[in-house]
A and B are shown apart, each in its own frame.
Chain A
Amino acid sequence: MINYSYTILIPLIPFIVFLFTGLTGHRMKPVVSGIIGSAGLGIAAILSYYTAWQYFWHSHVAGSAYVPVKAFEVTWLRLNENLVINLGSLLDPISVMMLIVITTVSLMVHIYSIGYMKGERGYHRFFSFLSLFSFSMLGLVLATNIFQMYIFWELVGVSSFLLIGFYYEKPSAVAASKKAFIVTRFADLGFLIGILMLSFTTKTFDFISLTSPGGPAIASAGGATFLGFSVLVWSLIFIFMGGAGKSAMFPLHIWLPDAMEGPTPVSALIHAATMVVAGVYLVARLFPVFALGAPDALHVVAWVGGFSSLFAAVIACTQTDIKRVLAYSTMSQIGYMMLALGVSGYGGHEGLGFMASNWHLFTHAFFKSLLFLGAGAVIHAVHSNDMRDMGGLRKYLPVTHITFLIACFAIAGVPGFSGFFSKDEILSAAFEHNRVLFFIEYAVAGITAFYMFRLYYNIFWAKETHYHHTPHEAPYIMTIPLMILAFGSVFAGYLPFSHLVTSDGLPFAAHINWSVAIPSIIIALAGIGVATFMYMKTNGLPDKIANAIPHFYKWAYHKFYFDEIYLFVTKKIIFRYISTPIAWFDRHIVDGTMNGIAGLTQLTSNSIKDFQSGRLQQYGFVFVSGAVALALIFIFLW
């Protein structure tokens, strides 16, 4: 038995850094707080790599299953004999994989931000929030039980609220951070209900006993039913609601595009690689329960994922804010991951979707954070988010250009780049289990290639716009992280993932399924081709196409009016038809009646009218009538 207890340091170091820079940051030179933050994350990253090496290779007997290891655990609350809440860290293939993803991307973002945030007010505040976020996210993935996960889940929400609202002087940033917080809180309501239901049917919070194939959760699958589903299915659907909120799945996606108001490195960290995939991680974490105990819940996951990926991809084609294009692209890619989990079975080759989903999570983290950081470098150079203000930048930003292109190839699924391998496994898994979703994903693959290259050409090719001053390449502190991530975007596809991260811990052999892969390559290249034709040189074609389908284009451009629908429901329906009538009733009926009574009393008791406010009688009246009404109800009606 190897001692992994040092892994507790991985989340703890960012936390200490957060406290330190948060409390003393304003006394030091700004750049020092950035260096301290990066150094802390660097140590956490080294420890994570060491953990991964030890877990996957050093302590592992080739061919045997990877078993979950509790590196550290303390009892925190003892609710009763069976329901105990612990705090600890759990190591298994997916949590170790997430450690690598989080620390790597976070480290890159820290280093990049030293350059990007230069001269911003609240520099040290930014870095202390980044460390807080990293701590929460690491605590989330290491959670040994669902309750601990929930606590860190909320902490992640709080820290992302702080980061999105970092430019708190900008009203739109404040509105966006509030929106993100409230929408995800609403989703977390489902999560909490799901946790309560799950823990009461299974009598445990612990992930290991929940997910062991003979464990209480899976054994309870045949229990009482409600509306045709067992309690277990309902609880998992509620839990998935929490995951869908964090992962911006339809219809809880509305916060993600607005969250782009935050600083760009934050988008790269939170909205590309870490927080938004927490929902995928949650489903993957409970995967055996889903697959063995509640396949119905898994269908929900698959369809929500599949629909979101298509929905977001269509919107992405019409947006002109480069960060919003990337935001919708993220939503679409996470839809892919959810779908892959949804179509997966448990064990061996059946679990292909599970493996593919985690693999795509891994590769996506690299290329999507690279795209965001690249977009950040572009925004840094031209001081605009809108692709119509860009064009011809390849001459001015050579490093950004090449790394961005690599990421575009990776996300489009061009052979040789990481995205190709992971996407191919997802498509194969969908092909084997659900043909409808499989064809949807083919379409999404083509649309993805199209909108990514639309973005690419509009930024780096097309007609050069007139710039106020010549754009210049970002400093090395920003371009070096780009290069490192570009390296990952290419080579993350060559890892033997099916030997490391599988649904049951046992390695299996996954091959590229060429009958699925070749059409997908053709579709991707077709998407790129169309984009090249339309956008490489500025011409009238895009407008013509938009004008040919005006309604659909406008509809998609306005994100299918989802924000408006939500506003309508909250403002018009809830406020107008529920709150306003209550207020009206209160003001007119209650007060009116009472004023009448009070008026009558005032007439008869002029001598003491100054002493009586009139309203006290109203209070007494309500009190007595309340008591009498309750008495009547309970004596005669009940």
Chain B
Amino acid sequence: MRHELLLTALALVVLIIDLMLKPGQKNAIIPITIILFALHTIAGFLPAQPGELFGSMYRTDALHVMMKNILNVGVLIILLQSVTWLHKDENREKMAEYFIILLSTLIGMYFMISSGDFLMFYLGLELATVPMTALAAYRHHETKSAEAGIKLLLSSALSSGILLFGLSLVYGSTGSIYYNDVAASFSQTPMQVLAFIFFFAGMAFKISLVPFHLWTADVYEGSPVNVTSYLSVISKGAASFILIIILYIVFHSITFLWKDLVYIIAILTMTIGNLFALRQKNMKRFLAFSSIAQAGFILLGIIAGSKTGMTSVIYFVLVYIFSNLGAFGVVSAISNATGKENMDDYDGLYHTNPKLSLLMMLSVFSLAGIPPVAGFFGKFFLFTSAASAGYYWLVFIAVLNATISLYYYLLVVKAMFINKNEAPIASFKSDMATRIALIMCTLGLFAIGFWGQLYELINNLSIGILN
């Protein structure tokens, strides 16, 4: 419970401090929040007792703590990346709101991860979703941002509705919403299959799996860059964690059913995500579609149904946080400095901003899975776990997709390093916070791949499907 309590307190403290600050000193809220959050992140690593609360509505153990810590690291990087953007005049008014909203969605994710029944899960889900729409519409005076907010709100309302319908069917057919009870009495009656599929559709919406992904591109494009990176990395990572826990713990009696479902969705998601990413010209849209394809790869670990499967998913999400935040960090730095977000604008970037270009290259190499960057290991473990469960054809399709994705990831590298441009983006210097964030990403991209013990550490905590 420490994570949740600390973070709630932190959000309240930020709110109160913001009220006490005089109009001229409002900027001080930025360093205060970031330092407090960094302390919170560190505190997360202190040893914690496993246990249950509220009649096992809430439960926590080392696995949950690790997942929360991974999210914390990602959020810390995003907060650092937001500093420049928050300093802009039009955003000054609402700095504290940005932090409070963002932190409350994170609390929601904590509760989802630690949930022991579907009620807690649903509360967490809504807490993680509804404030998100406010963030997407943060610059509501801009049409695109307002549109993104309303689109996110309406489509997540729809998905929540379907999910809730599924949960009510679960309750109706099993008489319980506790994970343990549901797991014990869940079988394969048509009503329960329907219930499961509606639940799955709701989760698929959060992870933006095909065909539940359509909202992604518009919302990602319209939202401010930092919100987009939060949505595509943290939100998606948290939802993947929860999906795998629930599939393994609650729905283990219909494993054969959801494995087929995941099989289909994985192929659709990887392939369609890739085909659409090929056509994108706007960097944010491009990263949005490529992140859809990446989500398809995550399913390969889920489908394995084993301890290695869960390990590979957690490991991949960790790697994905660093690679995608690296890419988004560069996009955000450039967008803040120049307002440019199209791929053509990146032509010749290497000549003016070599360091940013190199980080961007490393990040897309990691997303594409080229060794020795960490992304390669992430993909490799996903593939091995699916292959060890006997899904050779799925692995084959995934490897094929990874090869296709290489093409469009290389387009970015080509734009920066090879394409000629009479007037490339001028050199600029980023501020300290952005630099720290980008250095963290760079280190992460290498360190995770080469720090072998990390994999073992995750593997020791992971679980397979219960039998």
Footprint of B on A, CB under 8 Å? 75-80, 85, 150-151, 154-155, 158, 165, 168-169, 174, 178, 181-182, 185-186, 189, 192-193, 196-197, 200, 579, 582-583, 613, 615-616, 618-620, 622-624, 626-627, 630-631, 634-635, 638
A634 touching B261, Cβ below 8 Å: yes
Q: Which of A186, A189, A630 contacts B197 (CB 8 A)?
A: A630
Q: A579 CA to B260 CA in the complex, in Å?
A: 26
Give residues of chain B (385-421) contacting chain A, Cβ–Cβ below 8 Å. 387-388, 392, 395-396, 399-400, 403, 406-407, 410, 414, 417-418, 420
With contacts A619-B215, A626-B211 known, is A182 near B371, CB below 8 A?
A: no
Q: Which residues of A contact B410 (CB under 8 A)?
A: 178, 181
The contact of B418 among A80, A168, A615, by CB within 8 Å, is A168
Residues of B within 8 A of A618 (CB): 214
Q: Are A155 and B193 in contact (CB under 8 A)?
A: no
* A168-B417, A185-B406, A634-B197 as given contacts; A193 in contact with B395, CB under 8 Å: yes
Q: Give Cα distance in the complex from A635 to B275, angstroms.
A: 30
> B452 near A75 (CB under 8 angstroms)?
yes
Given A77-B452, A189-B399, A631-B197, residue A622 in contact with residue B211 (CB < 8 A): yes
Contact (Cβ within 8 A) A613 B403: no
Q: Determine how close the nearest CB of chain B comes to the CB of A611; give it in whole angstroms.
A: 8
Interface flag for B190 (CB, 8 Å): yes
B159 interfacial by beta-carbon distance below 8 Å: yes
Question: 9 A–B contact pairs at CB < 8 A?
Answer: A79-B455, A85-B452, A158-B370, A620-B154, A622-B212, A623-B159, A623-B201, A623-B211, A634-B261
Tell whether, in the assembled complex, residue B261 and residue A616 are in contact, meaning their CB atoms are under 8 Å apart: no
Q: Are B275 and A196 in contact (CB under 8 A)?
A: no
Interface of B is mostly: helix
Are A627 and B201 in contact (CB-based, < 8 A)?
A: yes
The reply on B147 being an interface residue by CB < 8 A is yes
The answer to whether B372 has its CB under 8 Å from any CB of chain A is yes
Instruction: Check if A76 sits within 8 Å of B452, measured CB to CB.
Output: yes
- The minimal Cβ–Cβ distance linking B460 to chain A, given in whole angstroms, is 11
Decide if B403 touches A189 in the complex (CB within 8 Å).
yes
* Min CB gap A230→B, angstroms: 15
Question: Which chain B residue lies CB-closest to A578?
Answer: B275
Asked whether, in the complex, the Cβ of A77 is within 8 Å of the Cβ of B371, the reply is: no
Which residues on the A side are within 8 Å of B205 (C-beta)?
623
A80 and B403 CA atoms in complex are apart in Å by 28
A196-B395, A623-B211 given; A174·B371 CB < 8 A:
no
Selected from A200, A582, A622, A635, the residue in CB contact (under 8 A) with B214 is: A622
Query: Looking across the interface, which residue of chain B has its beta carbon closest to that of A579?
Result: B275
In the bound complex, residues from chain A placing their C-beta under 8 Å from that of B407 are 182
Any A CB within 8 A of the CB of B151: yes
| B147 and A155 form a contact (CB under 8 A) | no
Which of the residues A75, A85, A185, A626 comes within 8 Å of B201, measured between beta carbons?
A626
Q: Are B399 and A582 in contact (CB under 8 A)?
A: no
* Shortest beta-carbon contacts, A-B, top 7: A626-B211, A627-B201, A619-B214, A77-B452, A631-B197, A151-B371, A635-B190
Q: Are A638 and B257 in contact (CB under 8 A)?
A: yes
Partner of A630, one of B155, B158, B201: B201
**In the complex, A76 Cα to B377 Cα: how many Å?**
12
The CB with the most chain B CB atoms within 10 A, among A181, A186, A196, A582, is that of: A196
Out of A77, A85, A634, name the residue touching B193 (CB < 8 Å): A634
B98 to chain A, nearest CB (A): 25
Contact, CB under 8 Å: B214 / A627: no
Cβ-defined partner of A189 (8 Å) among B377, B387, B400, B455 = B400
Q: Complex formed: what's the CA distance from A185 to B370 in Å? A: 10
Could you tell me the distance between the alpha carbons of A77 and B381 in the complex, rounded to whole angstroms? 11
Q: With a 10 A CB-CB cut-off, give which of A185, A631, A634 has the most chain B CB atoms.
A: A634
Pick from A77, A582, A615 the residue with the most CB of B within 10 Å: A77
Contacts of B417 in A (CB 8 A): 168
B interface vs A, CB < 8 Å?
Answer: 147, 150-151, 154-155, 158-159, 162, 190, 193-194, 197-198, 200-201, 205, 211-212, 214-215, 218, 257, 260-261, 275, 278-279, 308, 370-372, 376-377, 383-384, 387-388, 392, 395-396, 399-400, 403, 406-407, 410, 414, 417-418, 420, 450, 452, 455-456
Which one of B154, B162, B308, B396 contacts A80 once the chains associate, using CB atoms below 8 Å?
B308
A182 to B154 alpha-carbon distance, docked (Å) = 42
Q: Once the chains bind, are B395 and A620 in contact (CB under 8 Å)? A: no
In the complex with contacts A185-B406, A196-B395, A631-B193 CB distance below 8 A: yes
- Bound complex: CA A85 to CA B371 (Å): 15
Residue pair A185, B403 in contact (C-beta under 8 Å):
yes
A615 and B257 in contact, given A158-B370, A196-B387 (Cβ under 8 angstroms):
no
Bound complex: CA A26 to CA B387 (Å): 47
Chain B residues, CB < 8 A from A182: 406-407
Instruction: Among A75, A155, A624, point to the contact of B158 (Cβ < 8 A).
Output: A624
Chain B residues with Cβ below 8 Å from A619 are 151, 155, 214-215
Cβ distance A193 to chain B, nearest Cβ, rounded Å: 6
Closest B residue by C-beta to A162: B417
Which of B154, B212, B260, B308 is in CB contact (< 8 Å) with A79? B308
B288 CB, min distance to chain A CBs, angstroms = 14
- Say yes or no: A200-B388 contact (C-beta < 8 A), given A154-B370, A582-B275: yes
A192 to B418, CA, bound (A): 29
Inter-chain CA distance A130–B210, complex, in Å, is 44
Q: Which residue of the partner chain B has the closest CB to A188?
A: B403
Please indicate the chain A residues that have their CB under 8 angstroms from the CB of B308 in the complex.
79-80
Whole-angstrom CA separation of A76 from B218 in the bound complex: 42
Given A77-B452, A579-B278, A635-B194: 5 more A-B contacts, CB < 8 Å = A620-B154, A622-B211, A623-B162, A634-B197, A638-B260
Which residues of chain B are within 8 angstroms of A620 by Cβ–Cβ distance? 154-155, 158
Distance to closest chain A CB from B227 (angstroms): 19
Contacts of A630 in B (CB 8 A): 197, 200-201, 261
Nearest CB in chain B to that of A231: its residue: B392
Bound-complex Cα distance A186 to B401 (A)? 11
Contacts of B406 in A (CB 8 A): 182, 185
Q: Which of B257, B392, B456 contacts A634 (CB 8 A)?
A: B257
Whether A186 and B403, one on each chain, are in contact in the complex, defined by CB atoms closer than 8 angstroms, is yes
Q: Closest approach, in angstroms, between the C-beta of A229 and any C-beta of chain B? A: 14
Residues of A within 8 A of B392 (CB): 197
How far in angstroms is the closest Cβ of chain A from B275?
Answer: 6
Query: When chains A and B are docked, how far (Å) is the Cα of A566 from the Cα of B211?
Result: 33
**Residue on A with the closest CB to B205?**
A623
**Docked CA distance A635–B188 (Å):** 9
Q: Which residues of B contact A155 (CB under 8 A)?
A: 371-372
Once the chains are docked, how many angstroms separate the CA of A151 from the CA of B376?
10
| Closest residue on chain A to residue B272 by CB atoms | A582
Nearest chain-B residue to A171 (Cβ)? B418
Residue of B nearest to A626 (CB): B211
Nearest chain-B residue to A582 (Cβ)? B275
Tell me which residues across on chain B come within 8 A of A150, comparing CB atoms: 371
Closest Cβ of chain A: how far from B318's Cβ, in Å? Answer: 15
Chain B neighbourhood of A78, CB < 8 A: 452, 455-456
Q: Pick the contact of A151: B200, B201, B372 (CB < 8 A).
A: B372
Contacts of A192 in B (CB 8 A): 383, 399
A623: chain B residues at CB < 8 Å are: 155, 158-159, 162, 201, 205, 211-212, 214
A85 to B193, CA, bound (A): 41
Bound CA span A579–B407, Å: 15
Chain A CB within 10 Å, residue with most, of B147, B151, B371? B371
B212, A626: Cβ atoms closer than 8 Å: yes
Nearest A residue to B455 via CB reads: A77
Give complex CA distance A627, B169 in Å. 15
